Amino acid sequence: MKPYRIGTRGSPLALAQASETRARLMAAHDLPEEAFEIVVLSTKGDRVTDRPLSEIGGKGLFTEEIEEQLSDGRLDLAVHSSKDMPTVLPDGLGLVAFLEREDVRDAFIGRSAPRLEDLPQNAVVGSASLRRQALIRRLRPDISVITFRGQVETRLRKLGEGQVDATLLAHAGLKRLGNTGVITELLDPESFPPAPGQGAICIEARINDERTAELLAPINHPATQAALLCERGFLGALDGSCRTPIAGLATIAGDQLSFYGMILTPDGSVWHDIRTEGPVGDASVLGAEAGAEVRVRAGSSFFDSWV
């Protein structure tokens, strides 16, 4: 039988996520490794490393090349970090399955101090994420934040060389890379809410491809899927421009969903947060309504102030 072709980026984290997905599929269907072929593709986001992502602009920086091959049938499925996925996908493609979510928290990796609150005045923190930059400035307006791109390994090397006093990375990614030893603090998701989708691996496929849908059904984790529907609803309602710092986290207990979301100005001086809850079945609508409400509360001047 022809192997299923699994598309992924080539970073160590992406490869770890693709292998994890393959391992789960092998176990769920009692299939040998040869039933799957991992196809590594380079994306624009991987190739352009000298500028902040928000400047390169465009949706789907990490997905375009992969989605082209999914659409035309060269791939059967693609493994992504949900956090990196735009809210609108190309026609005919969908996020068909979500693996059980890892820890959602951001990890603080400090060189001059083990905790964010203990960093000396005027310390320098490196981060590529507008959300993390804004959240750091909100908690510590005295700290300088510099843009810090590259793969996890590159950032840790820059930290080790003393280019910055600290950096932040997703706990989930460090766990998947077996690199949690560098962490000096795990940040509380209430004061430092994660990005929508953080910690969750998603699998993209053609929505009319029944063979792949059947393959993926047993590895989908319904609670993670509901959380993601809510968080992506929030992001979508805010029209997640790459320049708006947005945080959002849905948690599921039984058939109840609780959501906490926040938008901030890049300098962290102004923020609007929202809390909502409801039945899991309404996940997407709950997120979208929270997004619409926070948008109204913030007012258009909030979004205009820095574009």
Ligand X SMILES: NCc1[nH]cc(CCC(=O)O)c1CC(=O)O
Contact positions toward ligand X, by CB under 6 A?
81, 83-84, 169-170, 172-173, 198-199
- 239 catalytic per annotation: no
Q: Say whether 298 sits in a helix, a strand or coil.
A: helix
Compute CA distances 263 → 76, 131, 282, whole Å. Answer: 36, 8, 22
State how far the Cα of 44 lies from the Cα of 63, in Å rounded to an integer: 8
Least distance between ligand X and beta carbon 299 (Å): 29
Q: Which lies closer to ligand X via its Cβ, residue 12 or residue 114?
A: 12
The residue at minimum Cβ distance from ligand X is 173
Least distance between ligand X and beta carbon 189 (Å): 13
Q: Which lies closer to ligand X via its Cβ, residue 179 or residue 302?
A: 179
Residue with tokens 């510099």, as numbered in its chain:
146
Q: Which two tokens stand for residue 223?
A: 């609670």
Residues in the chain: 307
Residue with tokens 């792949």, as numbered in its chain:
212
Least distance between ligand X and beta carbon 155 (Å): 8
CB 188 within 8 Å of CB 117? no
Using left for φ > 0, alpha for ψ between -120 and 50, and beta otherwise, residue 144 falls in beta
Q: Which lies closer to ligand X via its Cβ, residue 172 or residue 238?
A: 172
Q: Which lies closer to ligand X via its Cβ, residue 110 or residue 282?
A: 110
> Of residues 46, 50, 76, 84, which has the active-site annotation?
84
Q: In Å, how far from its chain's centre is CA 10?
A: 17
Least distance between ligand X and beta carbon 51 (Å): 15
Active site residues per annotation: 84
